[in-house]
Structure 1
Amino acid sequence: MDWVNGLSINARLKIKSSDKGIKGGSPLIHSEAVSYVDAGLAEGTIIDVVDEKGKFIGKGYYGKQNKGLGWILTRNADEKINASFFERKIKAALENRQSFFEDPSTTAFRVFNGEGDGIGGLTMDYFDGFYVINWYSEGIYQFKEEVLQSLEKLTDYKGVYEKKRFAEKGSYIDDDDFVAGERAQFPLIVQENGIHFATYLNESAMVGVFLDQREVRKAIRDKYASGKKVLNTFSYTGAFSVAAALGGAEKTTSVDLANRSRSKTQEQFSVNGLDYEAHDIIVEDVFHYFKYAVRKKLSFGLVILDPPSFARSKKHTFSAGKDYPALLEQAIEITEKNGVIVASSNCSTFDMKKFKGFIEKAFRQTGGNYKILEEHTLPEDFKTIKEFREGDYLKVVILKKLS
């Protein structure tokens, strides 16, 4: 039998005969695929997943989150879900990232990526000796001790922080994030391809830089920023702007609605030895800024468009799956001829093919032409599996506006 928190009896969950996802190898247990589940299950209960005839499909854990009711962890009926299971998975993930640990120019990266490394609902990031664990359901949080014991055994961590992302509607539970080891001194300065970033592992769900955009920032710095006027929209802490400035941009303009974006962006410029006063950092609704830029006839040689999947301001509601083409149209309008647009989305509800369709639609509406220069999905440390396509959520197309 398997065990967790003293429980040793596996509950049963039945999958509809019409479901193709789980039977096709997807580890996510979508609620609409379930025909029966034992009543009163506690979060983190080990479950046997069977078809409607009782045939074994897989074994996993019960954990409600916005994506479903839990995750399958193994297709082997004899494999036990216990401390040894977690240790094996984490050890394999760490070994898979060995080249990152050995790279002195990059000291922040993902070390465990959910279902890509065999445990859906759990991710871990590395920040120069410190680890940040992200829990995406109360179910996976029940395995906290197993995960911490594995980290203690397998690594020489300085300290461990956690992010509990399983509040109502998938939001973040804001409490003390420190878990084990020593507390970091903040800002904790990390490197990414030689770029420095100030991070705060104890501040809410977002620590200061999105690690999945590492290769895109490198491309901006090394290939596309030199001599350009750069507009970075939805700029957060200005990471793309810093990369552009280090790549020789004439000037960067960072626009974000959040008040904290100004001080955070100034800090990121400063830790890289850049004069933030030589750049524009604007706290404003991006949609308002586009109208302002058109009115003032501003134009940019490089425009970075990386909106959240969903955003709401006083006058605008943005949903990437519906509104991205219209947003891109506005970006196209203020991009110089032969200028470059970095079009990006982390929305998991559509794939790269549909995203390219959004780009095609936007240029068709504006009457312009373009050429795709390069494409990016998740980097190597964000391991994914082909059976769970929505796990490979990042889509970036770098394109040139021809007319």
Structure 2
Amino acid sequence: MSLIQLSSSPVVLRLNRDLVRTIKRGHPWVYADALRELPKAKPGTPAVLLDNKRGQAVARGYYDPGCPVALRICETEPDVALDDRWAERRLKTARSLRNVFAATGTTNGYRLFNGEGDGLPGLVADVYADTAAVKLDGDGPVGFWDAAEIAEWMTREIGLSRIYERRKERGAGGRNLVGAVPEQPVEFLENGLTFTADVVRGQKTGFFLDQRDNRQQIRGWSRASRVLNVFSYTGGFSIAAGAGGASHVTSVDVAPAAIDAANDHWLRNGFDASQHEGVVADAFEFLADAARDRQKWDLVVLDPPSFAPNRESVPKAMTAYQNVIEAGARVTANRGLLAAASCSSHLDLPMFLECCEEGVSKARRRGTVVTIGGQPCDHPTPLALPEFRYLKFVLLRLD
């Protein structure tokens, strides 16, 4: 067994400024501009990090000279070797944090490894019943982790029958690690509800597992309500609303395949087909048409894709969020609920709340914050890495 690839001697890196305190507190990234030199080496080469003053070792990790995050830190005790024993300890610790799902028996779709949040930099694995999707976040992780051996470990320890490795582009360059390639979406449970995940071609690893707790919130607020789910993807929030007793749910997404899946999920859960409408449309156009026709919903969910892929795009992203929240507020009934989400890591919670305030105000409405949510327990994050807490979910009551 070789969970990590250690085919070369560690490269030595040295800080050009004092970041030791930040690193020892648990920040797992060292950017290229914080290093004195960027020696030539293959992505994923193990590395020893020295401080900027005395040249003393402060951490170990792996190096990626072509990435802005040039060093991903694995261990802040420099005397601890990065070997298979180290890797297996981390894998087992991560697995133990997911025992809650086995205990309940109502959820078998969850994130098993959450990269830096589990002390496994760059390694992500999502489980859907007997199937898993593995993703390595860039050239550095690909060069450091042995995905095939990790898949074998997952098979032995968890009893999975199929494991597929995703690459950055959906359906492109992936490979099967264990069992047959999942040609059809994989069925799994979330809080007793039935969903499917296309682990080969779907977004992320096939489903947005990070919204689990927020879907449960919507489930609790949906009884006897007309619900609109915009940017619905495969209908996660829609099914939650149906389970909560919504009188009618409308799902809107620009992708026909996503709406087909949303309709399928609705029927798989035994709900009345007449109580759900799937609409293939541009979200902004749909909301504008609905406002013009004076349509209103008791509960509106807005879960758009990230509008801020980098820091430079934040001002434009804030405008986009304000616009979609304004559009959503215009079709929310008086004293109805508006839920707005952002998965943009470069936009923090205060900034997103500002977007909510501006958007609601532009719609000539007033809002009350009912609750604020984020990522669930299977998406842990280092305390010292706020960027990893990317998901914001704000539920508002509008007057």
Tell me if TM exceeds 0.5.
yes
- Structure 2 contact 171–201 (Cα < 8 Å) conserved: no
Provide Cα deviations, 1:11-51, integer angstroms capped at 9, x if missing partner: 0222231657546531012233233121x210110011223
Aligned CA distance change for structure 1 residues 64 and 300 (closer, same or farther; 3 Å) = farther
Q: CA RMSD in A?
A: 2.6
Change (3 A) 1:319 1:172: farther
1:37-48 matches, cutoff 5 A: 37-38=38-39, 40-48=40-48
Alpha-carbon offset, residue 69 of structure 1: 2.2
Q: Look up the match of 1:116.
A: 117
Q: How does 1:331-350 map to 2 (within 5 A)?
A: 331-350=328-347
Q: Label 1:65 to 1:126 Cα distance change in 2 as closer, same or farther (>3 A).
A: farther
Q: Which residue does 1:236 correspond to in 2?
A: 233
What's 1:258 paired with? 255
Total equivalences in the alignment: 390
Given the alignment, which residue of 149, 153, 161 partners 1:150? 153
Match of residue 310 from structure 1: 307
Whether the aligned pair in 2 keeps the contact of 1:47 and 1:61 (CA below 8 Å) is yes
Alpha carbons 1:307, 1:345 under 8 Å: kept = yes
SS of residue in 2 equivalent to 1:310: coil
C-alpha distance in 2 between matches for 1:256 and 1:66: 34
1:226 CA displacement: 1.3
Q: Please state if 1:284 is matched with 2:285.
A: no
Is 1:191 aligned with 2:189?
yes
Structure 1 equivalent of residue 312 of structure 2: none
Indicate how the Cα distance of structure 1 residues 146 and 81 shifts in structure 2: closer, same or farther if over 3 A, else same. farther
**Other structure's SS at 1:364 match:** helix
Output the CA distance in 2 between the equivalents of 1:203 and 1:299. 34
Look up the match of 1:160.
Answer: 163
Corresponding residue of 1:30: 31
**Counterpart in 1 of 2:388?**
391
Question: Which segment is superposed worse, 321-330 or 248-257?
Answer: 321-330
Q: Which residue of 1 aligns with 2:214?
A: 216
Matched residues in 2 for 1:250 and 1:205: separation?
A: 29
Q: Which amino acid aligns with 2:355?
A: F
Residue type of the partner of 1:211? L
- Tell me the amino acid that sits aligned with residue 370 of structure 2: L
What is the SS of the residue equivalent to 2:383?
coil
Structure 1 residues without counterparts, runs of 5 or longer: 166-170, 313-317
Q: Work out which of the residue numbers 288, 292, 296 in structure 2 matches 1:299.
A: 296
CA contact (8 A) 1:27 1:388 kept: yes
Contact 2:341-2:392 at 8 Å conserved across structures: yes
Unaligned runs of 5+ in 2: 310-314
Change beyond 3 A, Cα 1:82–1:399: same
Q: Residues 64, 193 of structure 1: CA spacing in aligned structure 2 closer, same or farther, 3 A cutoff? A: farther
Q: Which moved more, 1:375-384 or 1:54-63?
A: 54-63
Contact 1:341 1:400 in 2 (8 A): yes
Structure 1 residues 361 and 64, CA gap change in structure 2 (3 angstroms): farther
Query: TM-score, normalised on structure 1?
Result: 0.89
Residues 1:173 and 1:263: Cα distance change in structure 2 (over 3 Å): closer
Instruction: State the identity %.
Output: 29
Counterpart CA distance in 2 for 1:270 and 1:55 is: 61
Partner letter of residue 323 of structure 1?
A
1:119-139 CA-partner distances (Å, limit 9, x unpaired): 121111111122221111122
1:368-397 deviations in Å (ceiling 9; x for gaps) = 222111111111111111111111111111
C-alpha contact 2:131 2:186 (8 A) present in aligned 1: no
Q: CA deviation at 1:204?
A: 4.5
The question of 1:7 aligning with 2:7 is answered: yes
Give the conservation status (yes or no) of the 8 Å contact 2:15–2:34.
Answer: yes
Distance 2:154 2:16 in 1: 37
Amino acid across the alignment from 2:299: L
Is the Cα–Cα contact under 8 Å of residues 14 and 37 in structure 1 kept in the other structure? Answer: no
**What's the offset of the Cα at 1:66?**
6.5
Check whether the contact 2:200–2:206 (CA below 8 A) recurs between aligned residues.
Answer: no
Q: In structure 2, the residue corresponding to 1:231 is in which secondary structure?
A: strand
Decide whether aligned partners of structure 1 residues 55 and 229 sit closer, same or farther in structure 2, where only a CA change above 3 A counts: same
| Counterpart amino acid of residue 154 in structure 2 | L
Determine if contact 2:32/2:65 at 8 Å carries over to the other structure: no
Query: Aligned AA for 2:52?
Result: E
Amino acid at match of 1:163: R
The whole-number CA distance in structure 1 between the counterparts of 2:3 and 2:151 is: 17
Match of 1:78 in 2: 79
User: Alpha-carbon deviations, 1:312-371, whole Å to 9, x = none?
Assistant: 9xxxxx954442122211111111111001111111012222222222222333342221
**Cα distance in structure 1, aligned partners of 2:256 and 2:308:** 15
Partner of 1:369: 366
Whether the aligned pair in 1 keeps the contact of 2:152 and 2:178 (CA below 8 Å) is: no
* Gap change, CA 1:132 and 1:66, over 3 Å in 2: same
State the SS of the aligned residue for 2:177.
strand
* 3-state SS of paired residue (1:25): coil
